[in-house]
Amino acid sequence: MRNSDYSPVTSNLVMNEPPQPALPALSIVIPFYNEEENIEDVCKEVAVALADKVEGGWELVMVNDGSRDGTGQVADDLSADHENFRAIHLTPNSGQSAALQAGFHAARGEFIATLDGDGQNDPEDILLLMKEMKARGVDMMCGVRARRADNFVRRASSKIANSVRGTILGDNITDVGCSLRVFKREGVLRINYFRNAHRFLPALFQIQGFTVAEGPVNHRPRAKGKSKYGGGINSRLWVGIADLFGVWWLKRRALRYEVSGDE
């Protein structure tokens, strides 16, 4: 056959690539530190509470913050048994703010919710906060524990701390210690993180120009184990004061401008 007689053969063959999983609409991020007694109950309650109630689907990101008990293994087992559960592990134990930051960056949802790993938050409140956030058109919705299931000392110290923080930062948040929150993904990826940043997330959102509101949520007694995060009241007090003035300085020095014209 002469070269001039050669006609290339075209093929209709299409390579079949495995379908990419759809991104969930909502990611729930929960930090766990030595919560072997609680992690399975907390995560399964999330699954029951959300079930098929989130349009676009959801995922649960379990963050094992360098636990020294069986928390990491339970997280891996749950991830293997539930297709929308994911487990990530921090080494070493790095604190709640680091665990949240790692979880936020691993999360794939347009919206992100957070819960404590001790079972005191009610996961059904996630849906209520999401609905309220969309209705108000804000970027972050914070829970307010109307009836706190904590002892007097914790309630009193929290009330004083919230009052002082609110006066200095002017963030208009009455219960910054409540871990039940819902955010827009773009917000959590833009704020600056540091140790104990989780105590100032509303103010850090506002510094970046995002809007924040709050609404009432349930709060329950811890059923198993003792609190792992936080340390003593005195240590939280002095560290909290230093962090508070650091965030105040950041707010005062933040750059605020808009860009227009050709891109």
The Cα-based distances of 184 to 24, 114, 134, 233 in angstroms read 13, 12, 10, 32
pLDDT score recorded for residue 7: 43
Residue 180 lies in a domain: yes
The ranges of the chain with pLDDT < 50 are 1-14, 151-153, 233-235, 238
pLDDT score recorded for residue 251: 82
Where are any strands of DSSP class E within 91-134? 111-114
Residue 120 lies in a domain: yes
Residue 12 lies in a domain: no
Residue 235 lies in a domain: no
Query: What letter represents residue 159's amino acid?
Result: K
pLDDT score recorded for residue 245: 79
Q: Say how far apart CA 162 and CA 247 lie, in whole Å.
A: 14
Domain enclosing residue 204, as ranges: 21-147+175-223
Backbone dihedral region of 204: left (phi > 0), alpha (psi from -120 to 50 degrees) or beta?
alpha
Residue 34 lies in a domain: yes
246, 248, 251, 252 alpha-carbon torsion, rounded to 10°: -110
Residue 119 lies in a domain: yes
Pairing of strands 26-32, 58-65: parallel
Total domains, the chain? 1
**Which helix (H) or strand (E) segment is 182 a member of?**
strand 181-184
pLDDT score recorded for residue 22: 80
Residue 158 lies in a domain: no
Q: What are phi and psi of 170, to 5 degrees?
A: 60, 35
pLDDT score recorded for residue 127: 96
Residue 14 lies in a domain: no
Q: Which residues of 91-107 are buried (b: 16+ CB within 10 A; e: fewer)?
A: eeebbbbbbbbbbbebb
Whole-model pTM over 0.85: no
The 3-state DSSP class for residue 203 equals helix
